[in-house]
Amino acid sequence: MTFLSFSPVILLFTMFALRVPIAISLLSSTAFYFAFVNTFMPKETMIQTMVASMESFPYLAIPFFTCAGVVFNYAGITKRLMGLAEMMFGHMRGGMAQVNVALSAMMGGLSGSANADAAMQTKMIVPEMERLGYDRAFSTVVTAASACITPIIPPGIILILYALVADVSVAKMFLAGFLPGLMLCVVLMVTVAIVARRKGYAPSRENRATMSEVGGHLLRSIWALFLPFGIIMGLRFGMFTPTEAGAVAVVYALFVGAVVYRELKWSDLGRIVEESVLATAGVMFIICAANAFATYLTWEGIPAAFSEFLMGSISNPVVLLLVVNLLLLFIGFFFEGGSAIILMTPLLLPVATQLGIDPVHFGIVMAVNLTIAGFTPPVGTMMFITISIAKVRIEDYVKQAWPFFVALILALLALSLIPQIALFLPETFL
């Protein structure tokens, strides 16, 4: 393998350093390979690969679940979930920050995207937290950190992508995400309580809610909370495929918004379609570009060489997971989670399976790792989304972020070292 074989990778990271958008960087590096490195392969192969990668029925799950998340925002579901979270956790120290974290866990079954959750909650909760006396940078950090929960609780888009690339059951990945997602929620809420005690942030409500108050809010939010459970049960009993589950989620969201809560109007449909198309187009463009770049990697035998190198250097599965965690944290600085899953899974999964690591456990570790990278300075995507919307300086964000980064890393280590956190539910129910 020559230096020329690695030149597209060098070009790719050079473009990342110059802050060129991810999809453009991937496409440019792949085009360079086909134009100047592998001159024997037809140039049309790159375009054919991009088009062929989208001719996949399972990929329809992505626009469907994206659309369902948008519909739920217009249907009045989000504000009801926020009311439920405030009722259940507002009495705790740092009450509104606790609500911020809990809402991300509840939104996990709806939006499925860390970036979407970060953007929505920055607009909705950060101004309210600032009005209650919270530091704006702290509010922004809590929002970005809690967004790490959203894609792990099903139906997270990153879980669907890993299942497709790794050829594992989508239902198993969905079930495997529940406990790690709840663990992240608990870890972040404990961190919020510790920081809030030091900073003197008070609860957002004076008294703990009564059972009747919680029950009333729970009843009003039950339609939203039922969605992830209904999807898992439908997949478990073979009522629909993962792609059909996405379509069912859209119909369900429209029904809840129009018939149950009656907040969804005909005039909203145009905006729903526009937001869904724009969000889906961005994700799918990156996936197309990542698949084209993966063709170059496979053609040059880089995944096989990388696997041989790791197998020759590492024989302990725990050591491999620790190395993978460090590698993915670095990769996640530059890649959006979905594209990183597509590129890195073929490189890392063969080594993991040879060392006896369960593919479902490994997928959850990858997903959590890449979402943490999105929260982390200096270039995490959720960090940039939240600070740009909240207008917070990056240095102020960094000062407030370190306790949450430490907490997330400890949770990642626990998940890496204790596979049953991810595997208990799939092994029990499937």
Q: Which two tokens stand for residue 307?
A: 């696997």
- pLDDT (mean) for 154-173: 87
Domain ranges across the chain: 3-429
pLDDT of 365? 95
pLDDT at residue 218, rounded to an integer:
81
- Chain mean pLDDT for the chain: 83
DSSP string, 363-408: HHHHHHHHHHHHHSTTT-HHHHHHHHHHT--HHHHHHHHHHHHHHH
The pLDDT tens digits of the residues spanning 373-426 come to: 888 876 677 887 888 888 888 888 988 999 999 999 999 999 999 999 999 999
- 191-229 confidence digits (pLDDT tens): 999 998 888 887 777 777 778 877 877 887 788 778 777
What whole-number percentage of the chain has pLDDT above 70? 95
Per-residue pLDDT at 274 exceeds 80: yes
Say what the pLDDT of residue 137 is.
92
Q: How confident is the model at residue 181, as a pLDDT?
A: 92
H or E, element range at 128: helix 126-131
Most trustworthy range by pLDDT among 12-26, 177-191, 271-285 = 177-191
Confidence of residue 92 (pLDDT cuts 50, 70, 90): confident
Between the CA of residue 41 and those of 26, 32, 34, what are the distances in Å?
18, 13, 7
* pLDDT bracket for residue 334 (50, 70, 90): low
Q: What is the pLDDT of residue 360?
A: 96
Contact 344, 166 (CB under 8 A): no
Q: Is the pLDDT of residue 61 over 80?
A: no
CB neighbourhood size of 289 (10 A)? 25
Residue 366: pLDDT over 90? yes
Among 70-84, 294-308, 384-398, the range with the most confident prediction by mean pLDDT is: 384-398
Model pLDDT, residue 109: 59
Q: What is the pLDDT of residue 378?
A: 62
Is the predicted pLDDT of residue 127 greater than 90, yes or no?
no
Q: pLDDT-derived band of residue 1, with 50, 70 and 90 as boundaries?
A: low
- The segment with the largest mean pLDDT, out of 73-87, 284-298, 341-355, 377-391, is 341-355
In the block, residue with structure tokens 């994700």 = 283
pLDDT reading at 336 higher than 80: no
- Cα–Cα distances in Å, from 6 out to 38, 213, 217? 12, 61, 56
Q: Please give the structure tokens belonging to residue 126.
A: 């950060």
Q: State the pLDDT confidence band at 111, using cuts at 50, 70 and 90.
A: low
Q: Which of 9-23, 30-44, 330-344, 404-418 has the lowest mean pLDDT?
A: 330-344
Backbone conformation region of residue 49, classed left if phi is above 0, alpha if psi is from -120 to 50, else beta: alpha
Instruction: Specify the pTM.
Output: 0.81
If you average pLDDT over residues 274-295, what whole number do you get? Answer: 80
Q: What is the pLDDT of residue 335?
A: 67
309 burial (CB, 10 Å; 0-12 / 13-18 / 19+) is exposed
Q: pLDDT, tens digit, for every residue of 286-299? A: 778 877 887 887 78
Tokens, residue 372:
């943490």
- More confident call, 337 vs 137: 137
